[in-house]
Structure 1
Amino acid sequence: MSVLKVDNLSASYRKNKVLYDVNFDVKPGSLTGIVGPNGAGKSTLLKVMLELHPKLSGNVSFFGSTLAKTKTKVGYVPQRGSVDWDFPTNALDVVLMGLYGKIGWFKWPNKKDKDLAMQSLEKMGMADYADRQISQLSGGQQQRVFLARALVQNADLYFMDEPLVGVDAATETAIMATLKQLKADGKTVMVVHHDLLTVEDYFDHVMLLNKTIIDYGKTEDVFTKEQVQRTYGGSLRWMKEA
């Protein structure tokens, strides 16, 4: 069964169409990089699929059903810049928010919940910062906490919107190790990514997007000079050239 199936999806901002005729089918256990130029609709695609932005047309199914019926199987990490990091809360509480879909917004987390949150922080090397206010964390540390919040959900399908932007090399290495471990555990991960130089090292599948799907499939088949230049309008110098 497909973990995600998208048929004829389109969306707009005001009168500007930002996605059209988007079709793809994702099988379980893949790590996909979504790449394309600025304004290609990469972040919008995630938001439309997750019903955070309205669609004009099309259908999206998760595990053969609707998002409403499968929400506990889906995790989402938005762009770090879209989050109010001045909100007065600590790292542990941020991670616990990832469990609210299961324990309910009006119930206090119990010891088991807090233990799970601490385990997620530990996986991201942030256990020592559990009581630290999130505004006091560096950008890389904030991103690790946000990823820990997604991990604690124990989802089967993860969407991540540019998780590597603005982080240091050590954090990037830690995040990619986590994403590859998720794939090894049979999870499915889709990542909006900006650095073409690391696509082949980081992802086994790639989606080339410029308002519609240019190509999607295994990285060795899709990530070619011709297809990348087609995605970026033909003006991009191929990074493998001397």
Structure 2
Amino acid sequence: MSVLQVQGLNASYRKNKVLHDVSFEVEQGSLTSIVGPNGAGKSTLLKVMLELHPKLSGDVSFFGSSLSKTKTRVGYVPQRGSVDWDFPTDALDVVMMGLYGRVGWLKRPNKSHKEKAMASLEQMGMADFAGRQISQLSGGQQQRVFLARALVQDADLYFMDEPLAGVDAATERAIMTTLKDLKTAGKTVMVVHHDLQTVEDYFDHVLLLNRTVIAHGKTEEAFTKEHVYRAYGGTLRWMKEA
């Protein structure tokens, strides 16, 4: 079953067109990597789909409906570099923010909400840091907290913008274990990813993007030498050689 349908999506950034006629569908229970060169529009694609950046034209459908009607079913983890980590709050409060869509901004979270937030921190190995100021956490720990905030939403479809960028090996393993657990539970995950070497090991689907869709489908079918060359302009040495 398709949980996401994108048709003829076009968008620009600072008067430069960054997405051109982007169309694809995503199946339920898939774990998809979005890969492409710098400036290919990967992060912009997520923002446009989530209405965080305006589109020029095109349609995006979530679970056969609009984003406004399905927001509680969609989770988003932006790039860590886009977050003000000096904001004076602790790890538990950051995770609790993921519940505001259900709790309401003017209502106080109750005991069950706090327990859910703690369970998400525990899942990411960060329960012992619940009271730690986020500015005092390492980059990998901050990323785990941010992922815990997404998990506590218990969404059906997750978008994650480079969650593995700049993290240590242990955090990378923890994040990928979590993403694969989400897939096993029937959730759908789309991840902007930068490391071509791990695409085949980590993801069952791939979307190769360079302003438009170069290829999309099961990793073993879409992640080919020809498609990677087309996405990267033929300048990238194929990682399987030598």
Quick check: TM above 0.5?
yes
2-structure distance, mates of 1:71, 1:185 = 20
Deviations 1:169-220 (A, max 9, x none): 0000000000000000000000000000000000000000000000000000
SS at match of 1:7: strand
Q: Which runs of 4 or more aligned residues in structure 1 lie more than 4 Å from their structure 2 counterparts after TM superposition?
A: none
- Structure 1 distance, partners of 2:83, 2:180, is 25
Could you tell me which runs of 5 or more consecutive residues in structure 1 were left unpaired when the two chains were aligned.
none
Distance 1:14 1:175 in 2: 33
Give the Å deviation of 1:14: 2.4
Residue 61 of structure 1 deviates from its aligned partner by 0.5
Instruction: Give 1:126's aligned residue.
Output: 126
The equivalent of 1:66 in structure 2 is 66
Query: Could you state the TM-score of these two structures normalised by the residue count of structure 1?
Result: 0.99
Give, in angstroms, the shift of residue 144 of structure 1.
0.1
Letter in 1 for 2:87: F
Aligned length: 242
TM-score (norm: length of structure 2): 0.99
Match of 1:88, SS?
coil
Give the letter aligned to residue 23 of structure 1: S
Other-structure match for 1:184: 184
Distance 1:172 1:13 in 2: 31
The 1-side partners of 2:162 and 2:234 are apart by 24
- The percentage of aligned residue pairs carrying the same residue is 81
**Aligned: 1:3 with 2:39:** no
2:136 equivalent in structure 1: 136
Residue equivalent to 2:230 = 230
Aligned to 1:42: 42
Q: Deviations over 1:80-123 (max 9, x none)?
A: 00000000000000000000001101111100000000000000
In the aligned structure 1, how far is the partner of 2:99 from the partner of 2:87?
19
- 1: CA distance between counterparts of 2:30 and 2:193? 15
In the other structure, the counterpart of 2:75 is: 75
1:5 alignment partner AA: Q
Q: Which residue identity lines up with residue 65 of structure 1 in the other structure?
A: S
Q: Superposed, which structure 2 residues align to 1:1-242 within 5 Å?
A: 1-242=1-242
How far, CA to CA, are the matches of 1:121 and 1:64 in structure 2? 32
Q: 1:164 Cα deviation (Å)?
A: 0.3
Q: Which consecutive residues of structure 2, in runs of 5 or more, have no partner in the other structure?
A: none
SS at structure 2 position matched to 1:3: strand
Residue 41 of structure 1 deviates from its aligned partner by 0.1
* Structure 1 residue 2 displacement after superposition: 1.5
Amino acid paired to 2:212: T
State how far apart, in whole Å, the 2-side matches of 1:12 and 1:36 are: 17
Secondary structure, in 3 states, of the residue corresponding to 1:190?
A: strand
- Residue identity opposite 2:131 in structure 1: D
Letter in 1 for 2:50: L
Instruction: Provide the C-alpha distance between the structure 2 equivalents of 1:139 and 1:14, rounded to a whole number of angstroms.
Output: 30
Once the two structures are superposed, residues 114-168 of structure 1 have per-residue CA deviations (whole angstroms, 9 ceiling, x without a partner) of 0000000000000000000000000000000000000000000000000000100
Local SS of the residue matching 2:2: coil
SS where residue 8 of structure 1 aligns? strand
Give distance in 2, aligned partners of 1:106 and 1:192.
Answer: 33
Cα distance in 2 for residues equivalent to 1:101 and 1:57: 28
